[in-house]
Amino acid sequence: MAALSISSSCHSKFFVLIIFLTYIISLSSNIGHVIAAGNNFYQDVDITWGDGRAKILNQGKVLTLSLDQVSGSGFRSKSEFLYGKFDMKLKLVPGNSAGIVTAYYLRSEGSTWDELDFEFLGNLSGEPYIVHTNVYSQGKGDREMQFYLWFDPTAKFHTYSILWNPGHVVFSVDGKPIREFKNLEPLGVLYPKSQPMRMYSSLWNADDWATRGGLVKTNWSQGPFTATFREFKADACVWSNGVSSCNSSDHHDWLSQQLDSSSQKRLKWVQNKYMVYNYCTDTERFPQGLPSECNVTIK
């Protein structure tokens, strides 16, 4: 009888332990859905091209992309997302980077794709990089804004962020917003809202247009060229098999985040001092009239 009592007690404790472990695993799974990327490139991304020119280093904490005269390289996130806040720390190609583009962007699949772009256009040594941004909705782009940076992006890592929620898209650098694209669908402006996107990044040669409209070519004697990435973070809704990991009961600050007054002031500061191209002021490019979102005053 004593042996039976001990056996029953052990079974009971084992059953309780199984329930507890199942609960912990489910919590971990939910956390993994909310924070879809956790600073390990082995877990978060797939290298998609480059024939060995893309390398994951330091136990998954660092990723480098290289470009030579034969090929560039690139990677993409393992997960697809439908809304989120995406951060990447990036150190750009140093020295003479003319003709070279480092891209970091979100993009969906198909011929009528959505896309949110950061592209960093290289330059001659001592000349500033240009940060090129664009927004595509259902395959339609032509919404370029370009900026100089207020620091040397090759000297150390800086954080480049994309906030994408149902109300707007915000591009930020080191926490300072540089561009906002509002959801103006009631005015007939297409907005990326229903197609899940992956994060992509690539390093490639674009010397037919990237630097001074293609006048300055890539100096291959300076290669190979390398850009370095770390601390990719996606606080986002993961899209899998047609279902989002977020639901109506979830609370994510970024999902309804708007620019407060101080953020709006920083946005205006950047655009007044560092913007070098705005499609909304290019009347020569749009002789039939500027895109409709350009004629809306957004407070």
Q: Is residue 277 part of a domain?
A: yes
Integer angstrom CA distances of residue 81 from 34, 163, 165, 230: 11, 12, 11, 20
- Coil, helix or strand at residue 288: coil
Please tell me the distance from the alpha carbon of residue 130 to that of residue 132, in angstroms, as a whole number.
Answer: 6
pLDDT in tens, 106-155: 999 999 999 999 999 998 888 899 999 999 999 999 999 999 999 999 99
Q: Which domain holds residue 156?
A: 41-294
Q: Is residue 233 part of a domain?
A: yes
Instruction: Tell me the pLDDT band of 297, cut-offs 50, 70 and 90.
Output: low
Q: Is the pLDDT of residue 32 over 60?
A: no
Strand partners, 297: none
Contact call for residues 118 and 104 (beta carbons, < 8 A): yes
The residues carrying an active-site annotation are 115, 119
Strand pairing category for 176-182 and 168-173: antiparallel
Q: What is the CATH number of the domain that holds 172?
A: 2.60.120.200
Write down the pLDDT at residue 37.
Answer: 55
Q: Is residue 156 part of a domain?
A: yes
Contact call for residues 204 and 67 (beta carbons, < 8 A): yes
Please tell me the distance from the alpha carbon of residue 21 to that of residue 16, in angstroms, as a whole number.
Answer: 9
Q: Is the pLDDT of residue 77 over 90?
A: yes
Write down the pLDDT at residue 251.
Answer: 73
Contact call for residues 80 and 239 (beta carbons, < 8 A): yes
- Structural domain total, the chain: 1
Q: Closest by alpha carbon to 280, among 294, 267, 295?
A: 294
Please tell me the pTM assigned to this model: 0.86
Q: Is the pLDDT of residue 71 over 70?
A: yes
Q: Is residue 96 part of a domain?
A: yes
Q: Residue 222, class by beta-carbon neighbours within 10 Å (0-12 exposed, 13-18 middle, 19+ buried)?
A: middle
Instruction: Tell me the pLDDT band of 38, cut-offs 50, 70 and 90.
Output: low
Q: Closest by alpha carbon to 52, among 37, 70, 26?
A: 70
Q: Is the pLDDT of residue 48 over 60?
A: yes
Q: Is residue 5 part of a domain?
A: no
Write down the pLDDT at residue 217.
Answer: 87
Q: Closest by alpha carbon to 194, among 86, 293, 118, 81?
A: 81
Write down the pLDDT at residue 136.
Answer: 97
Q: Is residue 186 part of a domain?
A: yes
Q: Is residue 31 part of a domain?
A: no
Higher-confidence position of 192 and 39: 192
Mean pLDDT comparison of 90-94, 253-257, 294-298, highest-scoring range: 90-94
Please tell me the distance from the alpha carbon of residue 258 to that of residue 204, in angstroms, as a whole number.
Answer: 34
| Neighbouring residues of 67: CB distance < 8 A, sequence distance ≥ 6 | 53, 73, 93, 100, 203, 204, 205, 223, 224, 225, 226
Q: Considering only 57-61, 93-97, 161-165, 250-254, which range has the smallest mean pLDDT?
A: 250-254
Q: Is the pLDDT of residue 2 over 50?
A: no
Q: Is residue 225 part of a domain?
A: yes
Instruction: Tell me the pLDDT band of 12, cut-offs 50, 70 and 90.
Output: very low
pLDDT in tens, 199-210: 999 999 988 877
pLDDT in tens, 221-253: 999 999 999 999 999 999 999 999 988 667 788
Q: Closest by alpha carbon to 161, among 191, 139, 133?
A: 133
